[in-house]
Chain A
């Protein structure tokens, strides 16, 4: 029996999609340009106002059909550009424009968690993280890095957002990482920027939720976070990627979530193993192709066992990278939303110190979620293998 009501679901869906509304800066400037006229002077008087987005200027007057088409195409392009994926790729130059006006608390980052805080890792959005060169002290005690071998606290993703009265705010992801890609759940905290100081506001993602942040995007009175779900006890689907929208304003506080992709299942994927071209060590690429019409999610290490006549010769050791490649730009495996027709891959390589051993005739492959993909024909050495995390391309390396 369902426990949710139609009106609750309706409110949740409306709130979630309302946050897809375009950001107001360009519209504000166009309105003021067409009415009171001097947008530059007004903008200068209001440091909270952003400059118009290049390419979005549109006349206020009625548009013809051709103009409507053109404007709509631009709007669609802007939607694509301003959407989730582009948020991951915001340019350093764009970011630098807003960074220049910031004055963070210069105090060295501190931590209540075990271990030390490091500089943000360079994720997909290296420019974004440049903004977080002086992250705040970690506020909270939920992250216990001592539970992870070699664990220490780092600052992950970061972005800025605007509070209701136009005040600037900052978002930071904190997490513990271990020596070999092990990690804790993420904690995302929002801070109000008061002068040159960041004041803790609230926690948006709690470690108890077991989520790994893929990326976060701040807006005006809103924040969107995409994360993988890793704690079934919290009600999520293990391995699914969800998008969360937070409404952070003076008059309304809300939260909504929607699933971006369910975890990949055996029926979704076709697996193949091939020799890694131009690798610096004996290496192979395990490719997982999504042959369905629906995106699915992957994150972490595949479990691979070299087998001969159904007998396991060796189980590959899971390492972040090796001479042949792997994940070198991040301390944790990436979160992959595998689009229909796209391929993810992982490198399997043989250690240089291993001598000759019996060869395999197939590889048993298990996804990070524990879902078995069965056996894939593959002639690999039956000893000394290591496997690196899945990445969202065909090369096996990030």
Chain B
């Protein structure tokens, strides 16, 4: 199997998973597709380097996250940014007659969209991918303490969306608010 075939196999096997990560970061289907497409197109000529990694999917996921964060920094003020999902979340009427649980989940998703990009990336990596703090730090290229600070601030913001039972994980981070 040559390099092209291995790249093709990787794309076919992992694009779904990468799109899910990208969607949770961008909250927009079009942007998620573009993010994954651009990242893999950029990595293609560097695929030999990817193949040296212990975990290729983790390597590519890191590239997706960093490209997302870098893209957000580069986003020009003159660019039109059409983000239907966020509009829907913010425009959605608050359904007071629904159960508290539904309200909380809607609000939780909407509030996730209001986190900073780095906070959201840290939350997605920690709670969707179940990565430990040190691996999140490796993806975000920052110190473990910074990751804990990002997550603790994110959880502090998200906690006000509802009434939640105590749990050791969030307590661990919330104790580390700096």
Whole-angstrom distance between the Cβ of B34 and the nearest chain A Cβ: 7
- Known A24-B19, A220-B16: A258·B105 in contact at CB below 8 Å: yes
Q: How many residues of B contact A (CB 8 A)?
A: 62
Tell me if B51 counts as interface (CB < 8 A to partner A): no
Contact B8 A32 (CB under 8 A): yes
Docked complex Cα distance between A17 and B28 (Å): 11
Tell me if A72 counts as interface (CB < 8 A to partner B): yes
Our pick among A3, A11, A58 for the contact of B127 (Cβ within 8 Å) is A11
Contact B15 A27 (CB under 8 A): yes
Whole-angstrom distance between the Cβ of B59 and the nearest chain A Cβ: 16
By a CB distance below 8 angstroms, the chain A residues around B150 are none
By a CB distance below 8 angstroms, the chain A residues around B165 are 1-5
Our pick among B24, B27, B33 for the contact of A27 (Cβ within 8 Å) is B33
Tell me if A18 counts as interface (CB < 8 A to partner B): yes
Whole-angstrom distance between the Cβ of B122 and the nearest chain A Cβ: 12
Docked complex Cα distance between A13 and B157 (Å): 15
Tell me if A167 counts as interface (CB < 8 A to partner B): no
Interface of B is mostly: helix
By a CB distance below 8 angstroms, the chain A residues around B36 are 27, 31
Interface digits, A71-85 against B, CB 8 Å rule (1 contact, 0 not)? 111111011000000
- Known A27-B37, A75-B28, A265-B97: A13·B105 in contact at CB below 8 Å: yes
Contact B23 A21 (CB under 8 A): yes
Our pick among B15, B30, B159 for the contact of A75 (Cβ within 8 Å) is B30
Tell me if A134 counts as interface (CB < 8 A to partner B): no
Our pick among A18, A22, A23, A294 for the contact of B93 (Cβ within 8 Å) is A294
Docked complex Cα distance between A6 and B163 (Å): 8
Whole-angstrom distance between the Cβ of A356 and the nearest chain B Cβ: 44
Contact A31 B155 (CB under 8 A): no
- Known A9-B105, A22-B29, A293-B93: A34·B16 in contact at CB below 8 Å: no
By a CB distance below 8 angstroms, the chain B residues around A36 are 4, 7-8, 44
Tell me if A28 counts as interface (CB < 8 A to partner B): yes
By a CB distance below 8 angstroms, the chain A residues around B97 are 262, 265, 267, 294
By a CB distance below 8 angstroms, the chain A residues around B108 are 9-10, 13
B residues 79-128 with Cβ under 8 Å of A?
79-84, 93, 95, 97-99, 101-102, 104-106, 108-109, 112, 123-124, 127-128
Tell me if A99 counts as interface (CB < 8 A to partner B): no
Interface digits, B16-51 against A, CB 8 Å rule (1 contact, 0 not)? 100111111001111111101110110010000000
Contact B15 A7 (CB under 8 A): no
By a CB distance below 8 angstroms, the chain A residues around B142 are none
- A19 nearest CB neighbor, chain B only: B20
Contact B158 A10 (CB under 8 A): yes
- B81 nearest CB neighbor, chain A only: A68
Our pick among A22, A31, A42 for the contact of B23 (Cβ within 8 Å) is A22
Our pick among A9, A22, A65 for the contact of B164 (Cβ within 8 Å) is A9
Contact B19 A7 (CB under 8 A): no
Tell me if B170 counts as interface (CB < 8 A to partner A): yes
Tell me if A46 counts as interface (CB < 8 A to partner B): yes
Docked complex Cα distance between A91 and B109 (Å): 32
By a CB distance below 8 angstroms, the chain B residues around A220 are 16
Contact A35 B163 (CB under 8 A): no
B residues 120-178 with Cβ under 8 Å of A?
123-124, 127-128, 155, 158-159, 162-167, 169-170
Most buried by A among B24, B99, B112, B166: B24
Interface digits, A165-185 against B, CB 8 Å rule (1 contact, 0 not)? 010000000000000000000
Contact A31 B41 (CB under 8 A): yes
Tell me if A158 counts as interface (CB < 8 A to partner B): no
- Known A24-B16, A31-B37: A2·B164 in contact at CB below 8 Å: yes
Contact A69 B162 (CB under 8 A): no
Whole-angstrom distance between the Cβ of B82 and the nearest chain A Cβ: 4
- Identify the A interface with B (CB < 8 A): 1-24, 26-28, 30-32, 34-36, 42, 46, 48-49, 58, 60, 63, 65, 68-69, 71-76, 78-79, 166, 220-221, 237, 258-259, 262, 265, 267, 293-294
A-B contact pairs, 20 of them (CB 8 A): A2-B164, A5-B167, A5-B169, A6-B164, A7-B155, A9-B104, A13-B112, A18-B23, A22-B23, A22-B29, A24-B16, A27-B19, A28-B15, A31-B11, A32-B8, A58-B33, A60-B38, A65-B78, A72-B31, A294-B95
